[in-house]
A and B are shown apart, each in its own frame.
Chain A
């Protein structure tokens, strides 16, 4: 294995291309620092910068256009060897595509070095300008359309990069390389270069047209690394539900509980399901609520069945428990001929008006249970009234809950009422 990260193959670049110089500078800096090639991982982008890949004796990973920094971040976070050097190589096109990744790497301050070889042009595809092209750079076909380029050093610095440097090709970059590679955290070197195929041919012209100047910034701060946790089993923490009593239910019962956000509708649905399982039934429950979970309706769909439940959908439920206007507005259309509607008293007039022959039971559940306990009060009242499940099953289910004592009080009040 050679001690430099470049092998003896001829550089694949046009005469006068800055990439040749930049790559040799990188190789020399690493050799001067005594870094073994197998302690280096080069993440190369698409574009002329990526053509260096076959010339490298270190570990290489050649990915997509613009994504080298994101890929390098993943490698750094996965690798358990902080002593390995990770270098991402991009052109100005790749840096434009992946600007978000660059900022993200700087924000996390992950220990890697990004080298942006900015020749201000998409050299492989016809000389189009990139987001890093300067105002005065003349694109071959539409030279008048230039707009100011991103100053990625300032962007990276503001995002939290530990080190940024901009230099121009032709300048001695050895010290920049060494400082960037030895800086803990995210370092960026932007090398402003010429593309002899599409851009300018003289270094002086490069300096004359650039909007920006050489710069070095340092921002020493804690290096980012992902937190590694010892995960807890998602099953071991589940308390088994004991089958302690029997339910008289023989078939399948479909129940909808509807109310407003913040009224513990989902908890009530879980409780009813757990009560069913306690009584030896199968149970399913799914929730429905707006994406903005803190407002609007909240609906829980519960199925209890003597037989195993496969299909978990409910069209027109057997039982509909409704405790608020939001809930009623959401589920009104699903009331069927056979549906027993159990509603808070305030909704009674509207429901009676809605369908004269409605199978309806109303009570002041909000008074019994408060806004957060109204659904539970309605469930307890219904169970006490019809006996589908023994009320003991609901009390047992409540005892598993962190607010079990409060729930039991509500159940007692509802049953007594």
Chain B
């Protein structure tokens, strides 16, 4: 029977993501409606102080950048077709160092594909979407609890690193209702921007040894703010390729990569002595958890590693994977995007894939994949 503190409800991931982001400080949601982010949009309209329909996704990102430069934390959400339109403006925001979160709910592609069918086909798009190859931080919830925790982590990383962050999810995560006891949800602190203080000299991109510069909003009464999407010096003045400007651009790479340990999230369900690990993320993680149960119930040893920080790839992930003879990478695409991200295009004897499109990968298929890779060739 219900215990005293329990609060069992029936809800979807969209609701948790929006509520968590609101608590972490999201002040504006700007969206162009697209399936499967419908429920995110609906939740934002109830919860976020400013919630706006943009006429298209380019506008959505430009408005988001405007909000962010004014000091309001913006969130937007889309699927691949809209995200593709956003990419130039995400690059702009990355270069200007404007914090924001873009929720990317994956669906079956290519192109418009199937709007109401799930998928995991956009990981490498995120890896390559910033010209120059820089990583955006990308977080990925693997269950309802993660929808809460990773949504909050996204806002905090965006604010502390002054960067756009992507929360990568999928149709099945944001449009499936499940029971959940919400009394155990972690408390979420509001993410506060590191502000420039005092009347001393202010350079918009002056970092004083830190990874990210302190913030002042456009329109403040004390200091001129110069935000710039072109290659720029520390003042924010366009430069072709001066050492100072190139140094500033290099810092954009460093600030994301050097701090990755601070925002590395994963789940490692280690089976002592196991020579095989199932590696996965997002919606496939839930099937993998059941597959682990199936295998262990039949006496077959296996570990599970669920990545929740996908980009930049945390070094800790490679350390953990190196302990296993077989790595079975499970993802809902037929190319093997995570496999390629971690191991390149070359076939590795120890790396195997369980892949599929159009339907979620089942626990039985994953278990079979594990058994196959262990068979002597």
Residue of A nearest to B70 (CB): A78
In contact, A79 and B287 (Cβ under 8 angstroms): no
Determine if B287 and A313 form an interchain contact, defined as CB atoms under 8 angstroms apart. Answer: yes
Contact of B19 among A59, A60, A67, A233 (CB under 8 A): A233
Instruction: Give the chain B neighbours of A229 by CB distance below 8 A.
Output: 49-51
Contact residue among B1, B10, B219, B363 (Cβ-Cβ distance under 8 Å from A84): B219
Give A contacts to B, CB under 8 Å: 1, 37-39, 41, 53-54, 57-64, 67, 70-81, 84, 100-101, 104, 226-235, 238-244, 270, 273-274, 277, 280, 282-289, 291, 309-313, 315
Q: B residues within 8 Å of A by Cβ?
A: 1-2, 6-11, 15, 18-19, 22, 28, 30, 35, 43, 46-52, 55-56, 58-59, 62-72, 74, 88-89, 92, 96, 115-116, 143, 172, 175-179, 182, 217-230, 236-238, 286-287, 289-290, 359-360, 362-363
**B327 shortest CB reach to chain A, Å:** 21
Residue in A61, A232, A241 whose CB lies within 8 Å of B179: A241
21 intermolecular pairs with C-beta atoms under 8 Å apart: A38-B219, A41-B219, A57-B224, A60-B224, A60-B227, A61-B226, A62-B230, A62-B236, A74-B30, A74-B67, A100-B56, A226-B50, A228-B50, A229-B49, A229-B51, A234-B22, A239-B9, A242-B8, A284-B177, A286-B177, A310-B289
Interface centre among A70, A238, A273 (most CB of B within 10 A): A70
| Among B51, B92, B217, contact of A64 (Cβ-Cβ < 8 Å) | B92
**Contacts A74-B63, A84-B219, A238-B9 known; A231 to B228 CB distance under 8 Å?**
no
Q: Tell me, in angstroms, the Cα distance from A381 to B46 when the chains sit together.
A: 37
Main secondary structure of the interface of B (DSSP, over half): mixed
Q: Which 5 A-B pairs give the minimum distances between C-beta atoms? A: A74-B66, A78-B70, A70-B62, A74-B63, A78-B67
Q: Which residues of B contact A73 (CB under 8 A)?
A: 62-63, 66
A28 to B: closest C-beta gap in Å = 20
Determine the distance from Cα of A213 to Cα of B52 in the docked complex, in whole angstroms. 37
A117–chain B nearest beta-carbon distance, Å: 18
- Contact among A39, A75, A287, A311 for B360, CB-based, below 8 A: A311
B362 / chain A contacts, CB cutoff of 8 Å: 311, 313, 315
Q: A60-B226, A61-B69, A283-B179 are in contact. Are A78 and B49 (CB under 8 A)?
A: no
Which B residues are CB-close (under 8 A) to A70?
Answer: 58-59, 62-63, 66
A-B contacts besides A60-B224, A231-B22, A243-B1, 14 pairs, CB < 8 Å: A61-B225, A62-B227, A62-B236, A71-B63, A73-B63, A74-B69, A75-B69, A226-B50, A234-B18, A238-B9, A238-B182, A286-B176, A309-B178, A312-B172
CB distance from B369 to the nearest CB of A (A): 15
Contact (Cβ within 8 A) B237 A232: no
Q: Is the CB of B178 within 8 A of A283?
A: yes
* Given known A231-B47, A231-B48, A310-B143, contact A273–B10 (CB-CB < 8 A): yes
Q: Are B63 and A232 closer than 8 Å at their CB atoms?
A: no
Question: What's the Cα separation between A226 and B50 when bound, in Å?
Answer: 7
- How near does chain B come to A1, taking the closest CB pair, in angstroms? 8
Shortest Cβ distance from A370 into chain B, in angstroms? 25
In the bound complex, do residue B50 and residue A77 qualify as a contact, i.e. CB atoms below 8 Å apart? Answer: yes
Q: Bound complex: CA of A324 vs CA of B74, how far in Å?
A: 44
User: CA of A143 to CA of B327 in the docked complex: distance in angstroms?
Assistant: 63
Interchain CB contact under 8 A, A77 and B9:
no
Of the residues A37, A61, A235, A244, contact of B182 by C-beta under 8 Å: A235
CB closest residue in chain A, given B18: A234
Distance (whole angstroms) from the CB of A2 to the closest CB of chain B: 11
Q: Which residues of B contact A78 (CB under 8 A)?
A: 28, 66-72, 74
The residue from B1, B8, B92, B143 contacting A63, defined by CB atoms under 8 A apart: B92
Q: A43 CA to B96 CA in the complex, in Å? A: 13
Contacts of B8 in A (CB 8 A): 240-243, 277
- The reply to whether B237 and A287 form a contact with Cβ atoms under 8 Å apart is no
B287 engages A311 (CB within 8 Å): yes
Q: Are B219 and A59 in contact (CB under 8 A)?
A: yes
Give chain B nearest CB distance to A392 CB in angstroms: 14
Residues on B with beta carbons closer than 8 Å to the beta carbon of A235: 9, 11, 15, 19, 182
Q: How far is the CA of A285 from the CA of B72 in the complex (A)?
A: 35
Chain A residues contacting B50 (CB-CB under 8 Å) are 77, 226-229
The CA-CA distance from A269 to B305 in the complex, in Å, is: 33
- Cβ contacts under 8 Å, A81 to chain B: 219
- Nearest-neighbor residue (CB-CB) of B293 within chain A: A310
| Cβ-defined partner of B228 (8 Å) among A61, A228, A282 | A61
Across-interface contacts of B221 in A (CB, < 8 A):
38
